[in-house]
Structure 1
Amino acid sequence: MNIKNYIKRHKKKTIFLAVFLIFYAFCLPKELFTKPTSTVITSKNNQLLGALIANDGQWRFPHNDSVPNKFKTCLIQFEDEHFYKHPGFNPVSIFKALKQNLQAGKVKRGGSTITQQVIRLSRDNRDRTYFEKLKELILATRLEIRASKEEIIAFWSSNAPFGGNVVGLDAASWRYFNRKATDLSWAEAATLAVLPNAPNLIYPGKNQHKLLSKRNRLLKKLLIKKVIDSLTYELSILEELPQKAYAIPQITPHLLQKINKTNKGKFVKTTIDKKLQNQTNEIVKKHYNVLNKNEIYNIAVLVLDVKKREVLSYVGNSPTDKKHQKDVDVIDKPRSTGSILKPFLYAAMLDAGEILPNTLVADVPTNFGSYQPENFNKNYAGAISAKLALSKSLNVPTVRMLQSFGLEKFYHYLQKLQLKNLHENANHYGLTLALGGAESNLWDLCKSYASMASTVNNYTKNSSRYFTNEFTEPTFYADQKIHFGKKSAEKNIFDAASIYLTFESLKEVNRPNAEENWEFFDSSKQIAWKTGTSFGFRDAWAIGITKDFVVGVWVGNADGEGRPGLVGVQTAAPILFDVFDKLPNSEWFSTPFDEMTEIKICTKSGYRATEICEDKKLQFIQNAGLKTAPCPFHFLVNVNVSEKYQVNTSCENLENIKQKSWFVLPPLMEYYYKNKNPFYKTLPKFRNDCLGENSNVMKFIYPTEKSTIFLPKDFNGIKNKVVFKVAHSNNNASLFWYLNTTFLGKTYQKHEFSTTIKRGKYTLTVIDNLGNEISQTIEIQ
């Protein structure tokens, strides 16, 4: 009742008081500091990796709530001894300052508390007038109500000027002492505590005597107050002052730029292992210094933690120059894949039950219309196991496997891997899809291999269950934990057994014979790895996989220029193994037995063994492998006792006929296979006195199918001859060669025929002495 009466009697005073209280409540801006800040990234252990200068050209790190005790103590003792006792202003200090200023006739002393200084900093250090001081005092008391003392100290530490373009304790600590604020000594903390008092006058490297005097007076005060002991004091005053500013560390510059796009002006804690990052940087620098002599200027390296799917090391490019695109982050840039996609085809065919690891596949000259794939070494094995074809990275077997498997089917698997640069349809890439006809990037490739490794890990660890989100994006943000989804009995893309068998094949990748060039390889480490080289020697790849880590390396020129010697095994693989040498050894993957079945395999063919296969062995295969065909290369044949000839009852008594299982390859495969396999026994021919048998077979080696033949001219301008080749199962057969209806000639045993032909279309026909006939349509250009 009394309040109501008072309000009625003192309406003006009440209104004034209410307006003042409203003004006081809202006088302080919601955000005190709005100036742009630097983008700062740290390792997973909060170690500085790099920072970008703020938009206004200042090194101003984002606000930090944590202020180290040493610096806090120095600051309070130097600026505001009674900081924890006053309400935002200190009447005694104000009175002393006012008295001294009046006596001097000008402003000589401020008397501001730390809280008032925070307000002045937030108001861009306006002119020191008495009216401005009054505003600061009011706003300081309001700030004391809103924020705690620790928060006010943090505001000051994050926004105080430290000379030049350095703002805030965190930036100053790195610029002047090249270390984080929590690692400062007492002398260093004292130096930074006195520096903002006159940042334009006292600057490291200038006015050293004034800065030293202020610092040492503060250290003396700390000694007197018993904050530090006499030994610490004596050692502290001996420490030298900083003479110049250090450069802010730039350990992961390309990752910093990537993060800056979405987190500009923020502190970002990453998953990077700083020690490993520094080691990887040194490895890249060492190899760059060698490779640039061959005009190869760019390198990218990515290291992933398989189990957490975190980025441990990120080298977006080599330490080259601007002329050679040093600022380009190659890790996410599309490049020709070379052979790096071959393991995906192998895994897909295992997963679909199309092959077994040791299934023999053809490695012979092959034409698909005008497309003629070739192995890197230009040689052919005739027949080779799918596993060995992958480990040797042979192109011809790969293309034949892709053609057999189905281009669309393989493309569907790649789409599931979410390779972002696979923009076109399957027909656009054609059969070159597995050889480098498509583009991808180091990030997507490492992500895919890491997901495959994790699939095997989780399957064997979680009672033969898969995770629904296994093929997920990795992260370099420490606060972003990867969720692999729910457990499921259904595979994501490849089953665990197919992946495991793929890694087993990649673990056996042949090492180069020249040991002196391979000293970087530690054979004690079990690593599944694959290299790739793009057409024109433009891109060199190497990716290694263990149970715990995936390391990916790309080497080349960012502008796409190819260079001789830019080959995956020569340039990228050495970097790969140097990085693995810095990583802990991993145990090999556990075998996913629940996705596998033990069956008898034909030793020679790698197919499921039939009853007539001579040599068999028990082997665990993927469950889908039970759908594969049985061995097609073993036949029961009738031979005489010496096994020199095939016979039948028309020429030999039944008791002298022996039935035998024989390993027989088709003629073209046999032609190349027997040159590399001396123990291969060609199927015997029928004895001359046997009737009713005519099983001799022949096939073109060149040309293999309807094709166009281009004949170059020699130095005299005369067109070279074309050389036709045929393989025949009977070494003693005679062949008769015809071009259209014109007889060309006859060959015996070695069936090669050279001739000069004019431009045009022809039918090449070959007939053996038993009447067998083959023909081929050719076009001469």
Structure 2
Amino acid sequence: MILTKKKKIVLILAFIGVVFYYFCLPKKLFDNPTSTVVTSKNNELLGAVIADDGQWRFPELDSVPTKFEHCILQFEDAYFYKHFGFNPVSIGKAMVENIKAKRVVRGGSTLTQQVIRLSRKNKERSYFEKLQELILATRLEFRHSKKEILNLYASHAPYGGNVVGLEMASWRYFGLKPHQLSWAETATLAVLPNAPSLIYPGKNQQKLKIKRNRLLQKLQEEGIIDQITYDLAIEEELPQKPYPLPTVAPHFVQEVTKQHRGKRIKSSVDIHLQKQVNNLVKQHYFRQKQNEVYNMAVLVLDVETRKVVSYVGNSPTDKMHQKDVDNIVAHRSTGSVLKPFLYAQMLQSGDLLPTQLVADVPTEIAGYSPKNFNLTFDGAVPANEALTRSLNIPSVRMLQRYGLEKFREDIKAYHINDINKSADYYGLSLILGGAEASLWDLCKTFAGYAGIVNHYEELKHNYYEREFIEPSFLFEETPSFGEIKKDYTTLDAGSTFLTLNTLLDVNRPYTDQAWKYYDSSQKIAWKTGTSFGNKDAWSIGVTPKYVVGVWIGNSDGEGRPDLTGVGSAAPLMFDVFDVLPKSNWFLEPYEDLIEVAICEKSGFLAKPICSSVTKRVQKSAMRAQSCPYHQQVMVDKLEKFRVNSNCESISNMKSKSWFVLPPLMAYYYQQNNADYRPLPNYRSDCNRLESNLMGFVFPSKSITKVSLTKGEDNQLNPIVLKLTHSNSETKVYWYLNEQFIGITQQYHEQAILPKEGTHIITVIDDFGNELKKVLEVKK
């Protein structure tokens, strides 16, 4: 068949017309920015953030409530499901009435046409614009189902002011979700988009009521609602004022908005728990406020899923006290919170056993002098007790022995983002709060510890490649721990379990002292921290199921007396655990622990001369040190004096295993341990030269700076020098700047009143042992 030129032109034009028609409708009808909407895992609204253009416009609905569908169709477009984008009958009737009235008194647009008009920003009405809307409406009917078109209308209809869409209008005018509205409330929202600038709640009440009741009457006439429902509906009051949106987790919503602006996000937060934690925070806020402490934060993580289940970024304070600061992500001085991490790493490396004695004596390391919180010394203390009591000096000495650089490299695996400087930058104060971290990262790390132990048994004595992953707040996101491996990546299960077990014994606040004696009490591994100057109070607890982290302080950094981890943050942490489901304790990873003989006194691997106990410890314990504090000594029959073959016959000598600490450790240790017995002195006819018998108590540093003080009589007080000696009968000779100043025996204390300047203190004992210290005196 041969086409004529005219037919070809017609076909070409037809083809162009079809192509134009196909592409005339934009792929995305609405490109307006939308509000960020965050819901709980229970599908309850947690909060929302206004769209970038200042409009409250929620993301498009997935479906429209049945009540609203009935109402809007009866009010706007009764033949919606029968027409194909436009209704010729309605258009004709509208034209006739408008011509007669010589003004627009009736519209003939279908809902589909109204969707097109809304997408075109309500351009000025003209016959040409009407024609375009009609063509686009038919194209829309080709592309979308009727339900989808209805959803588009409900999502973008104007509701007065800066309120757009059914969902936002429902919250604004009734404080409810759309599907929770009554027939009267739904009818009110169905008539509002018809004239949002003229009729809205709070004004024009009579006009609004007439429109609403007319619609309700039509619903009754059409048999959609019965007479009783109609009678009750018309008696309902109209909304008088706007309702505020829910603000159950405002800081959480702001954090979600940073990553998912303009989206509808279903989070992992449990709204019921969130409300309970909000109430607990409110109660604790009023208590802390009395100490002029105004800010706090609580984070609850699910260990198994690493999901956020509760997020309270701040207390219900005011703008003057930085109510908008999110203290969960803010970086603060860690205080003592990092101590368990050092303990765990030292266990794993074999540098430490749980009950091994560590020194707690006056310490100076390269000019740095750590102090315990109570300003006392224990001489020697088991490592696990040093951790549960959060002693500073043993922690610093342990860090020095383990290696600052090594520990800094270890904690890189925890991905604590704010600890990002070199080891030299932090120095040994790293373990006492010299670094900063967020509550988010610290809770993430404790969750990783719990995950290592949980997964060890679940994976049949294997490990995940990644345990210290970022927590998620998305309901549908699945955690990715990486590949399953035979060997651990960061920590082994045995060392981790022993660390968590040790943290069970941290002394609870006074309200929970008797927790061990109740079967119903939950086991919680927890650690507190208090930063220098009492600026930050931390408490973080972990069970196999949950991690609860609490920070309390002032967001502006102001410190307050009595603001401590155990006194301020811990009570709130335990209150939060009380509203969480209880869980059993971790399963002991038997395959990753071994039984060894531990010295009963020192906690080191037992020597044959030690009194020992069998304990289950980490596998790396085989590399640990044997007890350095037990000696085999020879004593007389009464065990009163030490003797040797030069002064006593072998038949009258006894071999005895003796627990002996270095002099300075022994000096403080025996003050807290009445059963400590120093080595007996040599019998007078058996004395011999020994080394390392003396130790200064004061001054303890190589170079010590002191200032002379005055007493009540305005006279200068002397400086009292103190020394400890393993042989109480030995005489010690004191020298100040090479000048002899006195002799002491048994109790080695010497008072001096030196002039301002630098002085050298020298002591020599009967055996020729000598020690020197430098004293810098200022007035």
TM-score, normalisation: structure 2: 0.95
Report the count of equivalent residues.
776
Of the structure 1 ranges 67-76 and 771-780, higher mean CA displacement relative to structure 2 is found in 771-780
Of the structure 1 ranges 421-430 and 357-366, higher mean CA displacement relative to structure 2 is found in 421-430
Q: Which of these residues, 764, 767, 774, is aligned with residue 767 of structure 1?
A: 764
CA shift, 1:482, in A, is: 1.5
Q: Which of these residues, 439, 443, 448, is aligned with residue 451 of structure 1?
A: 448
CA shift, 1:592, in A, is: 1.1
Amino acid at match of 2:523: Q
CA distance in 2, matches of 1:381, 1:331: 36
Of the structure 1 ranges 150-159 and 712-721, higher mean CA displacement relative to structure 2 is found in 712-721
Change (3 A) 1:94 1:362: same
| Partner-residue secondary structure (3-state), 2:527 | strand
Change (3 A) 1:507 1:223: same
1:688 aligned to 2:684? Answer: yes
CA distance in 1, matches of 2:258, 2:356: 49
| Partner-residue secondary structure (3-state), 2:707 | coil
1:703 aligned to 2:699? Answer: yes
Q: Which of these residues, 224, 240, 246, is aligned with residue 243 of structure 1?
A: 240
Contact 2:187–2:216 (8 Å) recurs in 1: yes
Look up the match of 2:627: 631
Contact 1:467–1:485 (8 Å) recurs in 2: yes
1:554 aligned to 2:551? Answer: yes
| Partner-residue secondary structure (3-state), 2:297 | strand
Of the structure 1 ranges 154-163 and 650-659, higher mean CA displacement relative to structure 2 is found in 650-659
1:665 aligned to 2:661? Answer: yes
Q: Which of these residues, 671, 674, 681, is aligned with residue 678 of structure 1?
A: 674
1:584-619 CA-to-partner distances (Å, cap 9, x unmatched) read 1121111111111011111111111111112x2211
CA distance in 2, matches of 1:603, 1:314: 45
Of the structure 1 ranges 168-177 and 736-745, higher mean CA displacement relative to structure 2 is found in 736-745
Change (3 A) 1:368 1:692: closer
| Partner-residue secondary structure (3-state), 2:744 | strand
1:21-46 CA-to-partner distances (Å, cap 9, x unmatched) read 33322222222212221111111232
CA shift, 1:750, in A, is: 2.0
For the aligned residue pairs, the C-alpha RMSD in angstroms reads 2.3
Amino acid at match of 2:417: K
Change (3 A) 1:769 1:11: closer
Amino acid at match of 2:618: Q
Contact 1:650–1:691 (8 Å) recurs in 2: no
Look up the match of 2:202: 205
Look up the match of 1:392: 389
Change (3 A) 1:138 1:691: closer
CA distance in 2, matches of 1:622, 1:91: 84
Look up the match of 2:45: 48
Change (3 A) 1:514 1:747: farther
CA shift, 1:692, in A, is: 4.7
Q: Which of these residues, 476, 500, 504, is aligned with residue 507 of structure 1?
A: 504
Look up the match of 2:19: 22
Q: Which aligned pairs between 1:77-116 and structure 2 lie closer than 5 A? A: 77-116=74-113
1:249-308 CA-to-partner distances (Å, cap 9, x unmatched) read 122222222232332222122222212222222222222222233222221221111111
Look up the match of 2:123: 126
| Partner-residue secondary structure (3-state), 2:248 | coil
Q: Which of these residues, 191, 194, 209, is aligned with residue 191 of structure 2?
A: 194
CA shift, 1:475, in A, is: 1.3
Contact 1:49–1:251 (8 Å) recurs in 2: yes
Look up the match of 2:226: 229
CA shift, 1:650, in A, is: 4.1
1:587 aligned to 2:584? Answer: yes
Look up the match of 1:473: 470
CA shift, 1:355, in A, is: 0.7
CA distance in 2, matches of 1:411, 1:623: 23
CA shift, 1:247, in A, is: 0.9
| Partner-residue secondary structure (3-state), 1:454 | helix
CA shift, 1:9, in A, is: 3.9
Contact 2:35–2:59 (8 Å) recurs in 1: yes
Change (3 A) 1:424 1:759: farther
Change (3 A) 1:649 1:23: closer
Look up the match of 1:491: 488
CA shift, 1:16, in A, is: 4.5
Look up the match of 2:54: 57
| Partner-residue secondary structure (3-state), 2:732 | strand
Contact 2:360–2:378 (8 Å) recurs in 1: yes
* Stretches of structure 2 lacking an aligned partner (at least 5 in a row): none
Look up the match of 2:416: 419
Q: Which aligned pairs between 1:151-170 and structure 2 lie closer than 5 A? A: 151-170=148-167
CA distance in 2, matches of 1:248, 1:401: 52
Contact 1:711–1:720 (8 Å) recurs in 2: no
Q: Which aligned pairs between 1:212-611 and structure 2 lie closer than 5 A? A: 212-512=209-509, 524-611=521-608
CA distance in 2, matches of 1:488, 1:767: 60
Of the structure 1 ranges 443-452 and 322-331, higher mean CA displacement relative to structure 2 is found in 322-331
CA distance in 2, matches of 1:182, 1:548: 35
CA shift, 1:154, in A, is: 0.7
CA distance in 2, matches of 1:295, 1:392: 27
CA distance in 2, matches of 1:150, 1:536: 62
1:183 aligned to 2:185? Answer: no
CA distance in 1, matches of 2:121, 2:15: 30
CA distance in 1, matches of 2:303, 2:313: 20
Amino acid at match of 1:468: E
Change (3 A) 1:724 1:167: same
Contact 2:354–2:603 (8 Å) recurs in 1: yes
Of the structure 1 ranges 383-392 and 412-421, higher mean CA displacement relative to structure 2 is found in 412-421
CA distance in 2, matches of 1:272, 1:358: 40
CA distance in 1, matches of 2:91, 2:590: 81
CA distance in 2, matches of 1:599, 1:545: 28
CA distance in 2, matches of 1:522, 1:596: 27
TM-score, normalisation: structure 1: 0.95
CA distance in 1, matches of 2:760, 2:391: 32
| Partner-residue secondary structure (3-state), 1:262 | helix
Of the structure 1 ranges 202-211 and 15-24, higher mean CA displacement relative to structure 2 is found in 15-24
CA distance in 2, matches of 1:169, 1:106: 30
Look up the match of 1:748: 745
Change (3 A) 1:225 1:462: same
Q: Which of these residues, 64, 70, 73, is aligned with residue 67 of structure 1?
A: 64
CA distance in 2, matches of 1:424, 1:9: 80
Amino acid at match of 2:103: K
1:646 aligned to 2:642? Answer: yes
1:156-209 CA-to-partner distances (Å, cap 9, x unmatched) read 000001122211011011111112112222222222112212222221122223
CA shift, 1:747, in A, is: 2.2
1:506-537 CA-to-partner distances (Å, cap 9, x unmatched) read 11002355879999x99812111111111111
Of the structure 1 ranges 769-778 and 501-510, higher mean CA displacement relative to structure 2 is found in 769-778
Look up the match of 1:723: 720
Contact 2:704–2:774 (8 Å) recurs in 1: no
Contact 1:194–1:215 (8 Å) recurs in 2: yes
CA distance in 2, matches of 1:746, 1:511: 48
Change (3 A) 1:513 1:245: closer
Q: Give the percent of matched residue pairs that are identical in Structure 1 and Structure 2.
A: 54
Amino acid at match of 1:529: W
Amino acid at match of 1:91: P
* Stretches of structure 1 lacking an aligned partner (at least 5 in a row): none
Amino acid at match of 1:286: Q
Of the structure 1 ranges 143-152 and 384-393, higher mean CA displacement relative to structure 2 is found in 143-152
Contact 1:471–1:492 (8 Å) recurs in 2: no
CA shift, 1:713, in A, is: 3.7
